[in-house]
Chain A
Amino acid sequence: MRRELTIQIFYLIAAGLAIGAAFVGQPSLIALRPHWLVVLLLLAGLAFWFEIPIEPYGSLNLSPVVVLVTTSGYGLSSGLLVAALAPMTRLLIRRLIGSPPIAIGRILVTGGEAALALWIGFRMSSLVVSTESQGQLVSLMSLSGVTLAATFMLIAIRVALEESISFRRLLRPLARRVIPHFLAMMAAMPIVWLTYALLGPLGIVLSMVVMVETYYPWKLLGEQRDLFLKSLQMFSNAVDVKDPYTAHHSKRVAQYAVRLARLLGAPEDEVNRIRIGALMHDIGKIAVPGNIIRKPAKLTDDEMALMKRHVGAGASLIEGLEILEDSRDIIQSHHENYDGTGYPAKLAGAEIPLGSRIVFVADAYDALTTDRPYRKGKTRSEAVAILTANAGSQFDPSVVEALKTILGKDY
């Protein structure tokens, strides 16, 4: 929470400085006529509707195209205004059509990020391209190139701060998701510029609709992926409710596991594998009767044997399924103790997959801190104390250490 606030304040100050610097010594201020400014603002706001997800790092949208062409045609100050205010317009539009609102902090960061990137892009590209070519295609292209590069770096910095991933580790997977879209925007830029030169501001409107049409399948793709991940979450929850007190347990375990995996330096592909493994870790409980899962007293040996079957059942359940199968070993081994006394295979130490060790700790932490009908949930510090006491025997000590880091000072 505090980290998020710091980031927001940082962006606000930076963007404010950038906008201020752009206006200093510019008597004419804004070259754009007010009604066109409104139209372009609306357009940039609408461009947000067109979100291209770059999971798990948020999403991109087409508003940079509007901002860049505006800057090229009407100068830096107009562009900065559109960049900084477009997210507000988006908020307004959402309010008008009754969509759920977005946190104001997010809006400010988005606007600040866009304005800051544009300012950096403008300053740096004016070093390369002479001011006479202002409004020419070549200046628009260099402006776009540098600005989009700056946008990329700013996104990377923000995500690295927010998700506590190391910046270096983030660059590659982020680039793989973002750069194709930025290249597509660059490719579209000459056409947008041409229509603008030919038809004025209305040309920008027209070519934006064209871009939306071309990009529509990407939006569908993103929605589909989103529905799929939510469906997995839903299935694990359907199993979790065999015990009403564990509803949404898997979802929380997945959240902890992702952060633990990143902190322990797992590459992003591995993080995704662990995310799905954590989400589906108890799916094998489909095969365990609900009255055993809910039983408040200690289980008999027979019942325990039945309960232990859930790891194998879960692993065989996802066998042969694309995507899920990659997480098979994580599910199979998420009850293996670090000292080799767990089940089903009595693996020890590094023999246990990292994902399983992470899921085991996240699973235990969430179970300890949740209320049960027969006992109150432990506090954070009590839970951490129990995990620490069992580090080395049951749990991987490095994972328990990582959990402490995540929980911060106040555990």
Chain B
Amino acid sequence: MRPLNTPFFYISAIVAAAAALVAVLFSDISWDNFPQMALFIVLIVVASFLIIQDPSGGVVSSTGTLFYVVLYVFNPITALVIVALGYSIGNTLPRSWVTWRTFFNGAQMGLSVFLGGLAYGKLGGNTAAGTIASQLIPAFAGALIHQVANNFFIAFLISKLRNLRFFRTWMNFIRELLWSNLLSVPTAILIAILYVRVHHAFVLMFLLSLPFQRWALRLYLEKRNTYARIVEHLVRAGEMSLPGSGGHAQRVANLASAIGRRLGLAERDVEAVGYAALLHDIGMIGMDDQIISKEAESDPKPLVEAHVRLGAEIVGDLGRTDLAEMVLHHHAPYIRDRASKPEAWVQPSIGARILALSEEVDSRLHGLFPYQDPAPLESIRRRLEEGLRGSDFDPQVVDAFLTMVREREHAPFELGDAEVIPAEG
């Protein structure tokens, strides 16, 4: 990785802040509880080893629940020490050693837990006594603060490293992880209360549920890959009956997903755009002989309109209205610039706008229906920059695409294959 100045100072500042907190509040650390601290450090390390690929992209480790337990059981500075040590060790052992990553991960996670613990205590959270109802608000608030802080630390670094807009990246992280995090709060409350009030052994309950979850997730991921392979194969088979379009759907899907990621869409939405892109020409299978007919060559518009409608209808069978909508609008600019009444136009979703541009680019590039001759990338780019941007296509989608094209000229760029720094979930 290229050494960049802002990230370097940022990482140093985070690590220094964590170190300073430990130094100032050193006397508050409950060293007499050292065996318990060690127990949790070991647990966090073990849980970090059992990383699972997240179904919606990225990585899930089950450490999140443990962080909440630590935050409810120990005082803030003790929690910081436990989590910083556990997380940096657990994150480093199974992967290669990268100095800045080890220190940064430990420090930022420690700080997040510290802030969460502070909020928990200030709101009257008390795991040892207090009724369960009075624990709920502090517990959820503590978890929320922890997540927001953690997302902030990570989003700032990622936005600097990848030239993304910081605020949007941050908000996307929060949105994406919020529900699964809040869902794990009750587990954490339960484990914390049982741990403190009944027996320390209850923390092992957490370890017991881990293999069960991992098994289901692995099964899910295997199945998902199998299903995806089959669908991709069927799409390719469907293209056989249409001249010259072999691989078109897959290319459009790759491009659309890459643009979606670049725009910072949530992973679930990126997946939806990719799936809609894969299926966008499915209406053409039933119209194969009409597409290659003489009439289609002289006036393709009726067929363009018919195949998006038929495609949307067929995709509608999936029971996913979002996918059907994207398929319906994937030729929107093409149909619209000939339509007489622009006010009759319904604003398509962001996914449909991404799909429309991806479709346009690939069809022009390869001279596919409704265009006839392949055009070089340069002329497509000029057209987008001059006329089409804004009038026919969503400017932010066009900009994202043009940026990607520019980057590709500087360095070979694998579409949709960027390294992900694990955001904690």
Q: Is there a chain A Cβ closer than 8 Å to B237's Cβ?
A: yes
When C-beta atoms are compared, the residue in chain A nearest to B183 turns out to be A213
Q: Is there a chain B Cβ closer than 8 Å to A367's Cβ?
A: no
Spot the interface stretch: B104-112, B213-221, B251-259, B383-391. B213-221
Q: Is there a chain A Cβ closer than 8 Å to B227's Cβ?
A: yes
With contact pairs A213-B184, A231-B318, A291-B289 given, residues A206 and B223 touching in the complex (Cβ less than 8 Å)? no
Contact A217 B223 (CB under 8 A): no
Contacts of A234 in B (CB 8 A): 279, 282, 314-315, 317-318
The CA of A60 and the CA of B285, in the complex, are separated in Å by: 38
Q: Is there a chain B Cβ closer than 8 Å to A102's Cβ?
A: no
With contact pairs A198-B197, A210-B186 given, residues A227 and B318 touching in the complex (Cβ less than 8 Å)? yes
In which size bucket is the chain B interface?
A: 35 or more
Contact B289 A209 (CB under 8 A): no
CB distance from A214 to the nearest CB of B (A): 5
Contact B231 A231 (CB under 8 A): yes
Q: Is there a chain A Cβ closer than 8 Å to B190's Cβ?
A: yes
With contact pairs A199-B132, A214-B213, A217-B220 given, residues A238 and B314 touching in the complex (Cβ less than 8 Å)? yes
Q: Is there a chain B Cβ closer than 8 Å to A218's Cβ?
A: yes
Q: Contact flags (1/0) for A204-224 with B, using CB distance below 8 Å?
A: 001101101111111011001
Q: Contact flags (1/0) for B282-311 with A, using CB distance below 8 Å?
A: 110111111000000000000000000010
Q: Is there a chain B Cβ closer than 8 Å to A301's Cβ?
A: no
From B217, B227, B240, name the one whose CB has the most chain A CB atoms within 10 angstroms.
B227
Contact B189 A206 (CB under 8 A): yes
With contact pairs A213-B187, A217-B220 given, residues A242 and B288 touching in the complex (Cβ less than 8 Å)? yes
The CA of A242 and the CA of B284, in the complex, are separated in Å by: 9
The CA of A234 and the CA of B278, in the complex, are separated in Å by: 13
Contacts of A241 in B (CB 8 A): 283, 285-286, 310, 314
When C-beta atoms are compared, the residue in chain B nearest to A191 turns out to be B205
From A184, A231, A242, name the one whose CB has the most chain B CB atoms within 10 angstroms.
A231
How many positions in chain A have a CB within 8 Å of any CB in the partner chain?
49
Q: Is there a chain B Cβ closer than 8 Å to A203's Cβ?
A: yes
Contact B223 A210 (CB under 8 A): no
Contact B190 A323 (CB under 8 A): no
> B55's contact among A198, A214, A220, A283, by CB below 8 Å, is which?
A220
Contacts of A225 in B (CB 8 A): 223, 227
With contact pairs A191-B205, A202-B133, A214-B209 given, residues A237 and B317 touching in the complex (Cβ less than 8 Å)? yes
When C-beta atoms are compared, the residue in chain A nearest to B133 turns out to be A202
Q: Is there a chain B Cβ closer than 8 Å to A230's Cβ?
A: yes
Contacts of B286 in A (CB 8 A): 238-242, 244, 290
CB distance from B159 to the nearest CB of A (A): 29
B225-264: which have CB < 8 Å to A? 226-227, 229-231, 233-234, 237-238, 240-241
Contacts of B412 in A (CB 8 A): none
CB distance from A55 to the nearest CB of B (A): 13
> A286's contact among B189, B212, B285, by CB below 8 Å, is which?
B285
Q: Is there a chain A Cβ closer than 8 Å to B198's Cβ?
A: yes
User: How many pairs of A and B residues are in contact by the CB < 8 Å rule?
Assistant: 130
Which secondary structure characterizes the binding site on chain B? helix
With contact pairs A321-B230, A321-B233 given, residues A206 and B190 touching in the complex (Cβ less than 8 Å)? yes
When C-beta atoms are compared, the residue in chain A nearest to B318 turns out to be A230
Contacts of B123 in A (CB 8 A): none
When C-beta atoms are compared, the residue in chain B nearest to A210 turns out to be B187
The CA of A244 and the CA of B220, in the complex, are separated in Å by: 36
Contacts of B231 in A (CB 8 A): 228, 231
With contact pairs A220-B220, A234-B282 given, residues A206 and B212 touching in the complex (Cβ less than 8 Å)? no
Q: Is there a chain B Cβ closer than 8 Å to A195's Cβ?
A: yes
Which secondary structure characterizes the binding site on chain A? helix
Contact B289 A217 (CB under 8 A): no
The CA of A171 and the CA of B223, in the complex, are separated in Å by: 25
Contacts of B226 in A (CB 8 A): 322-323
The CA of A18 and the CA of B180, in the complex, are separated in Å by: 40
CB distance from A227 to the nearest CB of B (A): 7
The CA of A323 and the CA of B230, in the complex, are separated in Å by: 9
Contacts of A202 in B (CB 8 A): 132-133
When C-beta atoms are compared, the residue in chain A nearest to B52 turns out to be A217
Contact B213 A195 (CB under 8 A): no
CB distance from B280 to the nearest CB of A (A): 12
Q: Is there a chain A Cβ closer than 8 Å to B342's Cβ?
A: no
The CA of A241 and the CA of B310, in the complex, are separated in Å by: 9
Contacts of B234 in A (CB 8 A): 235, 283, 317
Contact A287 B190 (CB under 8 A): no
B174-224: which have CB < 8 Å to A? 180, 183-184, 186-187, 189-190, 193-194, 197-198, 205, 209, 212-213, 216-217, 219-220, 223-224
Contact A184 B212 (CB under 8 A): yes
A156-194: which have CB < 8 Å to B? 184, 191, 194
Q: Is there a chain B Cβ closer than 8 Å to A347's Cβ?
A: no
The CA of A234 and the CA of B377, in the complex, are separated in Å by: 34
Contact A286 B240 (CB under 8 A): yes
With contact pairs A203-B132, A225-B223 given, residues A289 and B230 touching in the complex (Cβ less than 8 Å)? no
CB distance from B128 to the nearest CB of A (A): 14
CB distance from B242 to the nearest CB of A (A): 10
> A214's contact among B212, B237, B279, by CB below 8 Å, is which?
B212
Q: Is there a chain B Cβ closer than 8 Å to A324's Cβ?
A: yes
The CA of A381 and the CA of B101, in the complex, are separated in Å by: 74
The CA of A198 and the CA of B194, in the complex, are separated in Å by: 9
The CA of A242 and the CA of B285, in the complex, are separated in Å by: 7
CB distance from B400 to the nearest CB of A (A): 28
Q: Is there a chain B Cβ closer than 8 Å to A390's Cβ?
A: no
Contacts of A231 in B (CB 8 A): 227, 231, 318
A284-324: which have CB < 8 Å to B? 286-287, 289-291, 317, 321-324
27 A-B contacts, Cβ less than 8 Å apart?
A184-B212, A194-B194, A195-B190, A198-B198, A202-B133, A206-B189, A209-B187, A210-B190, A214-B212, A221-B220, A224-B223, A224-B227, A227-B318, A228-B227, A231-B318, A233-B317, A234-B314, A234-B315, A234-B317, A234-B318, A235-B282, A283-B237, A286-B241, A289-B241, A290-B286, A291-B289, A317-B234
Apart from A195-B194, A214-B209: 14 A-B pairs, beta carbons within 8 A:
A199-B193, A203-B132, A206-B189, A212-B183, A213-B183, A213-B187, A217-B220, A221-B219, A227-B227, A230-B319, A234-B317, A239-B285, A283-B237, A287-B240
Give me the 5 closest cross-chain CB pairs, A-B, nearest first: A217-B216, A241-B286, A209-B186, A228-B227, A221-B220
